[in-house]
Amino acid sequence: MKNDIAIEVKNLTKSYTLYEKPGDRIKDSLGLAKRKKFKEKIALNNVNLTVKKGETVGIIGTNGSGKSTILKIITGVLTPTSGEVNVNGHISALLELGAGFNMEYNGIDNIYLNGMMIGFSEDEIEKRMDAILEFADIGDYVYQPVKTYSSGMFVRLAFAVAINIDPEILIVDEALSVGDVFFQAKCYHKFEEFKKKGKTILFVSHDLSSISKYCDRAVLLNQGVLIGEGTPKKMIDIYKQVLVGQYSLPSGEGENLLYDDDIREAAAKADNKADSKIKKSTSEGSVGKSGKKKDGKKTFSEWAAEEESGANPDTLEYGDGAASIYEYFTTDSNGVKSNSIIKGTDFTVHMKVRFNRDVAAPIFALTFKNIMGIEITGTNSMVEKAFLEPVKAGDEKEITFTQKMSLQGGEYLLSFGVTGFEHNDFTVYHRLYDALNITVVSDKNTVGYYDMNTTCKVRDIDAGTD
């Protein structure tokens, strides 16, 4: 393994044997079973992954996709069925907080126990003891048996031990934010410290904002197969398709893995049937703001018009074809079309939708993201109680969202969607991700993503008054 590699996973497969009854397991182990009485569940299927030193990599995927399994194999908790894993450096893992704690021991004893399990000596742990206790901040309870702790105290101590051992590689499984809001802030601050120190970080999270903010790269797993790896933004776009069942693996499953620039192209082809329905529903020769002509081609003047309007020529779109968002734009406080909005003024987001079949109760939505792909704010017609009616095939609707611009000055990406529930299943009719660029013009930016529109006053205090 090269010196600049921290973790190397080669052809990793993990399968489990599932028996219907405990007796079947015994018979099979003794060779008494006359026929196969088990099912094989493949948790990971021929996965390859390389993490370089100093890199922060996030792993995303639906429940049961193999995320936790791969972390447990890397840390040595599980043994792979086939393949190999090579690790270069000390690992501290937050897989299941408190795993390895002895409930009869007190907090101090468990700190030494966990530190030694990671590979540190008693003297090394003692040098870090003050930092661990300060971070956990559970007071004299650290001298009481762990079984007497509240769940909050338990996770605080477990996180404090893992994060303050000062490992070369930190592995986190859905445990970055634990405890109360103040402790969560400390956890995130420590995580940022690790990044600045050039530590290698590999973590699993369903918090897509954290993946976008902290990760240099993201890996997407689905049903045990590595679908692809690339920028967090690209992988999150594909992950959202997986969540609504509108992404399928290429033929041959793991044989044609998708990387970087191939991801968006593959996503666009994820549902060819739905895509063709959307294109057919667009009138011949019309482009609108989605930039989609019937033949899929655009002239130079059309590309220029999109660029001027803030439309994204590489918009990611998908859906089952029941609806088509064929035009979208923003207008300023004067009702003029513009993708530049002055902070503090009213503006309106417009979207025009054509329905290609009857829909019982469509939901119209929009979302603002920053350029890192972090969702900042958003709303929909159901939340706003604006429209809860059925529509017929051929109906066209114009939806407007009017609000005051309170976001800080900068660049933002606007996404649109038409969704609904059919037979209690959430269904995407049409989505356009990062379809429109919005520039917020401001001469005063406060801290954070949006302005609280605070009024600040300073006055003299008269001498002699109480």
Check residue 243 and give its pLDDT.
82
Check residue 373 and give its pLDDT.
82
- End position of a domain, from candidates 227, 256, 285: 256
Instruction: Measure the CA–CA gap between 228 and 130, rounded to whole angstroms.
Output: 42
Q: Residue 105 domain-assigned?
A: no
Q: Residue 153 domain-assigned?
A: no
Q: Based on the fold, state whether residues 227 and 79 are members of the same structural domain.
A: yes
Please, what is the average pLDDT of the chain? 81
Q: For residue 308, which of 440, 442, 441, 436 has the smallest C-alpha distance? A: 436
Phi, psi of 379 (to 5 degrees): -160, 175
What are the structure tokens assigned to 71, written together?
């972390």
SS3 for 60-76 is: ECCCCCCHHHHHHHHCC
- End position of a domain, from candidates 224, 256, 288: 256
Q: Based on the fold, state whether residues 359 and 413 are members of the same structural domain.
A: yes
Q: Based on the fold, state whether residues 58 and 183 are members of the same structural domain.
A: yes
Q: Based on the fold, state whether residues 219 and 310 are members of the same structural domain.
A: no
CB within 8 Å of 166: residues ≥ 6 apart: 128
Query: Would you place residue 38 in the very low, low, confident or very high pLDDT band (cuts 50, 70, 90)?
Result: low
Would you say residue 63 has pLDDT above 90?
A: no
Q: Residue 63 domain-assigned?
A: yes
Question: Would you report the helix, strand and coil content of the chain in percent, each value rounded to 5?
Answer: 30, 35, 40
Check residue 195 and give its pLDDT.
86
Helices (H) and strands (E) in the chain, counts: 11, 19
| Count of CA atoms in the C-beta half-sphere (13 A) of 93 | 20
Whether 202 and 121 have beta carbons less than 8 Å apart is answered as: no
CB within 8 Å of 240: residues ≥ 6 apart: 433
Q: Based on the fold, state whether residues 347 and 319 are members of the same structural domain.
A: yes
- pLDDT tens digit string along 319-358? 999 999 999 999 999 999 999 999 999 999 999 999 999 9
More confident residue, 147 or 262: 147
Q: For residue 109, which of 125, 130, 92 has the smallest C-alpha distance? A: 125
Q: Residue 94 domain-assigned?
A: no
pTM of the predicted model over 0.85 = no
SS3 for 34-94 is: CCCCEEEEEEEEEEEEEEECCCEEEEECCCCCCHHHHHHHHCCCCCCCEEEEEECCCEEEE
- End position of a domain, from candidates 223, 256, 289: 256
Instruction: Measure the CA–CA gap between 54 and 5, rounded to whole angstroms.
Output: 9
Number of structural domains in the chain = 2
Q: Residue 202 domain-assigned?
A: yes
Query: Would you place residue 269 in the very low, low, confident or very high pLDDT band (cuts 50, 70, 90)?
Result: very low
Share of the chain above pLDDT 70, in %: 81
CATH code, 308: 2.70.50.60
Q: Residue 448 domain-assigned?
A: no
Q: Based on the fold, state whether residues 183 and 315 are members of the same structural domain.
A: no
In this prediction, residues 70-80 reach a mean pLDDT of 91
**What is the distance of C-alpha 68 from the center of its chain?**
15
Instruction: Measure the CA–CA gap between 452 and 49, rounded to whole angstroms.
Output: 43
Could you count the other beta carbons within 10 Å of the beta carbon of residue 275?
Answer: 18
Q: Based on the fold, state whether residues 345 and 235 are members of the same structural domain.
A: no
Would you say residue 274 has pLDDT above 50?
A: no
Q: Based on the fold, state whether residues 247 and 284 are members of the same structural domain.
A: no
Instruction: Measure the CA–CA gap between 131 and 45, rounded to whole angstroms.
Output: 41
Domain that holds residue 212: 5-89+168-256
In angstroms, the Cα distances linking 434 to 109, 206, 332, 383 are: 51, 20, 20, 21
In angstroms, the Cα distances linking 293 to 2, 77, 114, 266, 362 are: 49, 53, 61, 20, 25
Query: Would you place residue 190 in the very low, low, confident or very high pLDDT band (cuts 50, 70, 90)?
Result: confident
Instruction: Measure the CA–CA gap between 437 and 312, rounded to whole angstroms.
Output: 7
What are the structure tokens assigned to 103, written together?
């409930």
Q: Based on the fold, state whether residues 313 and 437 are members of the same structural domain.
A: yes
Q: Based on the fold, state whether residues 30 and 175 are members of the same structural domain.
A: yes
Instruction: Measure the CA–CA gap between 373 and 191, rounded to whole angstroms.
Output: 19
More confident residue, 21 or 90: 90
Q: Based on the fold, state whether residues 188 and 244 are members of the same structural domain.
A: yes
Q: Residue 447 domain-assigned?
A: no
Query: Would you place residue 287 in the very low, low, confident or very high pLDDT band (cuts 50, 70, 90)?
Result: very low
Beta bridge pairs of residue 172: 94, 203
Instruction: Measure the CA–CA gap between 373 and 76, rounded to whole angstroms.
Output: 33
CATH code, 221: 3.40.50.300
Instruction: Measure the CA–CA gap between 316 and 433, rounded to whole angstroms.
Output: 5
Q: Residue 437 domain-assigned?
A: yes
Could you count the other beta carbons within 10 Å of the beta carbon of residue 91?
Answer: 20
Q: Based on the fold, state whether residues 369 and 415 are members of the same structural domain.
A: yes
Residue 405 burial (C-beta neighbours within 10 Å; 0-12, 13-18, 19+): buried
What are the structure tokens assigned to 389, written together?
């009616």
